[in-house]
């Protein structure tokens, strides 16, 4: 594929996506847009440990990072649904008896970080305890 055809395809697809987004803004009720925004922020924050810490902290292992990401996303969705009584999303504050109301994304991120760092430290200790053959 030539460079000019790639540029043409990119311009056409970009224009189509912009009109789809514009149509979404005008056709979808505002409550759905707010619900998507609340849920989107919770899900996007869960990517922080897997991408940012995974790139810059050498001791983190991929298995706990992926597990932490999955647990963070799942717990964030469950907590926001539980907070809103499995109805329309109107609040993103989760009531915890000890701390009071906390933002769901912060609680889910805490789960994610505990699993990512804790699991990596356990795997790192286990790999040091098992002697490897000289390969």
Distance of CA 101 to the CA centre of its chain: 21
Residue 93 β-bridge partners: 103
pLDDT at 118: 93
Summarised one tens digit per residue, pLDDT across range 11-25 is 999 999 999 988 888
For the cut 90, the answer to whether the pLDDT of residue 39 exceeds it is no
Residue identified by tokens 């224009």 is 15
pLDDT at 29: 81
Half-sphere exposure of 76 (CA within 13 A, CB side): 25
pLDDT at 11: 93
Segments of 1-135 assigned E as strands: 93-96, 100-103
pTM of the shown model: 0.72
pLDDT at 68: 93
Q: Domain-by-domain residue ranges, the chain?
A: 29-129
Summarised one tens digit per residue, pLDDT across range 61-92 is 889 999 999 999 999 989 888 888 777 777 77
Mean pLDDT on 123-135:
71
Is there a contact between 26 and 88 (Cβ–Cβ < 8 Å)? Answer: no
């Amino acid at each position: 594929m030539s460079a000019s055809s790639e540029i043409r395809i990119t311009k056409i697809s970009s224009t189509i996506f912009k009109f789809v987004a514009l149509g979404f803004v005008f056709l979808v009720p505002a409550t759905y847009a707010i619900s998507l925004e609340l849920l989107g922020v919770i899900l996007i924050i869960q990517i922080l440990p897997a991408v940012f810490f995974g790139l810059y902290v050498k001791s983190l292992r991929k298995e706990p990072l992926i597990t932490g990401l999955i647990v963070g996303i799942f717990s964030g969705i469950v907590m926001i649904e539980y907070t809103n009584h499995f109805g329309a999303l109107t609040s993103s504050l989760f009531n915890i008896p000890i701390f009071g109301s906390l933002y769901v994304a912060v609680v889910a991120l805490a789960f994610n970080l505990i699993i990512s760092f804790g699991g990596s430290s356990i795997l790192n200790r286990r790999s040091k305890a098992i002697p490897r053959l000289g390969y």
